[in-house]
Structure 1
Amino acid sequence: CAKTFAQVSYLQKHNRTHTGEKPFKCKQCPLAFSQSCHLRTHNRMHTGEKPFKCKLCPQAFARNSYLQRHNRSHTGEKLFECKQCAKAFAQFSSLQRHNRTHTGEKPFKCKQCPKAFSLNCNLIRHHRTHSV
């Protein structure tokens, strides 16, 4: 591609997006990463390190993005708004789940019968009817 970079290291990092090369290998599991910072973040899963601490409660997180999402539980901030009914949600996954009420999508399908559900918890509850 035609992208240019001021430093060779940035070019090398970018080139890995094209080659798929993942030179940073986890010593604990088979995963590998294209950037060393991604490996560092991943390693926290193995070590349990949670350097991102909430200032309002005892919660701590391995990733800053998880802390930012958690902070919305304290502020009540709802960044994700439904385009159809203007209902708002603190988490994108909650908006996605809500959107199914408008679309009728039922992605959770029973493998034992034709039934399908919009929520995974309803599929799990349904599975119990097959084992009764």
Structure 2
Amino acid sequence: HLWGRPYECDKCQECFSQKKTLLIHQRMHSGRSGRVLWCSYSGKTFSHPSNLIRHQRTHTGERPYQCNECPKRF
């Protein structure tokens, strides 16, 4: 899992690009996260709403951003 994500969770093997993101994620396993958000499509959990929204786009195919130079959407 070295594709720019060298920090691996020892509980679920999910990988992160930043150590601080891993530490936030690990709080979910310890029950100290406060609020855990989960994807209704896959069951994957998130501690930040923006990460959940970005992840859910992989399921819905939503591409909310459009290039200013061409009709391509992202």
Which of the five TM-score ranges fits, normalised by the shorter chain? Answer: 0.5 to 0.7
Question: CA offsets, 1:1-32, max 9 Å, x none?
Answer: xxxxxxxxxxxxxxxxxxxxxxxxxxxxxxxx
Aligned amino acid, residue 69 of structure 2: Q
Cα 1:106–1:74 change in 2 (3 A) is closer
Structure 1 residue runs of 4+, over 3 Å off? none
State the secondary structure of the residue aligned to 1:116: coil
Cα 1:103–1:80 change in 2 (3 A) is same
Identity rate, percent: 43
Separation of aligned partners in 1, 2:55 and 2:39: 8
- Where does residue 105 of structure 1 map in the other structure? 62
Give the CA RMSD over aligned residues.
Answer: 2.2
TM-score by length of 1: 0.32
TM-score by length of 2: 0.55
Question: How many residues are treated as equivalent by the alignment?
Answer: 47
**One of 81, 87, 102 as aligned partner of 2:44:** 87
Q: Which is bigger in relative contact order (C-alpha 8 A, separation at least 6)?
A: 2
Q: Per-residue deviation at 1:76?
A: 2.2
Aligned amino acid, residue 76 of structure 1: R
Cα 1:104–1:74 change in 2 (3 A) is closer
| Structure 1: 5+ residue stretches without partners | 1-71, 118-132
| Structure 2: 5+ residue stretches without partners | 1-22
Question: CA offsets, 1:58-114, max 9 Å, x none?
Answer: xxxxxxxxxxxxxx7175226010001101111111000001001100011001101
Separation of aligned partners in 1, 2:41 and 2:72: 27
Give the number of the structure whose alpha-carbon radius of gyration is greater. 1
